[in-house]
Amino acid sequence: MNSATYRAPSVPEYAPARQAAPSSEEVQARQTFLRLLCRPLVTAHIDTQLYRDVLRYAKEIDGYCKRLDYRRTHLGGAIRLVRNPVLGAVTAPPRPLDLPPKRVLTLTALLAAACEEVEGGVTLVKLSGLVAEISSSGERRMTPYDPDLLAERRALVKAAALLEFWGVLRKRTTLVTDVQEWAEARTGIGAGYDVDREALLLFVSPDTIALAAHQQAQLAQLRGPHLVDGAGPAASSPTPGPSADDDSPDAIWESQRQASRVVRHLRTLVETPALLYADLPGDEAELARGQRGLRAADLIGLIGGSVEARAEGLVWISREDECPATALWPTAKTESWAALMVADKAGRDGRRDDKGFVHLASGEVGEVLEDLTEWKGHLFRVDLRNDPAELRSAVEETLRWLGLLRTEADGSWHLTPVTGRYRDPELIEPAPEPDQVALFAGPITDYAGDKAGLSDRATPTVSEPFGGHT
């Protein structure tokens, strides 16, 4: 049970003004493109409806891709949306909560390479042997895959599940016990698979890898490798560079940066929670602020919805009840509503700068979490209630996933202005109904269990625009 803390003030929104309402075909094309953004590799076997819709609106989707400098590739029964790098970088959404460990991702790449050696059907045991052979090559700098280790077999099973999710592998057998028996005891064949060669080719996509590597090499020559690896284009050039008439590497870089400003801003709005002016160089921030109406119209023309304009930046708002691009948050899990409460209290107690960010030192973060534990710790799961470090890790992962938090190596926090859109929930512990009490001979705790279980029935509420913290 919950209630909004207070009414959200009026928010300036941009919509396609003075334009005719989009037709149903245009709406469907935008929704299909949005679904393709969320699932960039689709096959006719894995998602038949999305595959058919992409083919149906191929012309419109190709137009959307052109505006973002993306491209759609189609091979047989598989389609992939390729995000071409701009200035050596690809704008990506925040890191998901369920991102597999690095070892699983490494084995996924090795497993895809092993699939290229397969003709027809293949078993998990055969794939395991091929991965071990590939990884043991002396030309590669990696820890060889060892099928004798339980942890390695479990990781390979997860890697196979990833390829199955993307349609590269299609499982012939449906017995989960076969896979578990092989992973736990190395008995049996594990599972039988068919390899989708078309999806595999789009998955590894040599031309995409070559394009990214070529851009990285070019940028390393122009600006140095320290400005290419791990640095976004905005951060690498805080101020306008030399004149465009200069033929120096800095001038070439500056020319490419200015030419790609609109595309990069649109990508940020499409792929991330918000376009924040503080994240942009001075000239780009001024451009984005002055052309916010144009960027809003461009974005709405690509994926629909509406755009809120705030002093700190722009944010896209979905108008669909079920949107594949929006995160299902907050939920009734402890780490979910605890993250919401921590973000609200930290936003009030921290130091706000003139760009809308709120800053807290590591010790201040610990105090906020300690206060929350004393106040609502009886509603936490047992593992989070008894381990402050685990609670902090869970809260940080949740807020980073939502794009609301940036952390430093020393443990300090930087809450983004988007955090101001949310407010802490009013948690009301449910009481049993009189007729429910009469149904049980023992005390209420016999069926209600530990109070930590109540967290599954506490539902938080959100609402508030940017800059809501005071």
Structure tokens belonging to residue 191? 């599972």
Q: Which of 92, 89, 37 is nearest to 64 (CA)?
A: 37
Nearest to 468 by CA among 384, 348, 363, 386: 348
Query: What pLDDT, on the 0 to 100 scale, is given for residue 394?
Result: 93
- The tokens for 371 are 């206060």
| Rounded Cα gap, residues 407 and 293, in angstroms | 32
How much is the pLDDT for 428?
59
Identify the sign of the CA torsion 212, 68, 260, 400: negative
CA of residue 147 relative to chain centroid, distance: 31
The residues, ordered by sequence, that sit 6+ positions from 38 with a Cβ below 8 Å of its Cβ are: 324, 325
Q: What is the DSSP letter of 192?
A: E
Residue 449: per-residue pLDDT: 34
Edge-to-edge strand ranges of the sheet holding 121-123: 121-123, 192-195, 169-171
**Alpha carbon distance 38, 345 (integer Å):** 32
Query: Tens-of-pLDDT digits for all 470 residues of the chain?
Result: 333 333 344 455 555 555 567 889 999 999 999 999 999 999 999 999 999 999 999 999 999 999 999 999 999 999 999 999 888 888 888 888 888 999 999 999 999 999 998 888 899 999 999 999 999 876 767 889 999 999 999 999 999 999 999 999 998 876 777 888 899 988 888 888 999 999 999 998 877 767 767 766 766 666 555 444 444 434 444 444 545 456 777 888 888 899 999 999 999 999 998 999 999 999 999 999 999 999 999 999 999 999 999 999 999 998 777 788 888 888 888 888 899 999 999 988 899 999 999 999 999 999 999 998 998 888 888 999 899 999 999 999 999 999 899 999 999 999 999 988 887 666 555 555 554 444 333 333 333 333 333 333 333 333 334 554 43
Res 424: pLDDT = 67
* Pairwise CA distance, residues 274 & 293, whole Å: 15
pLDDT of residue 330: 82
Residues β-bridged to residue 192: 123
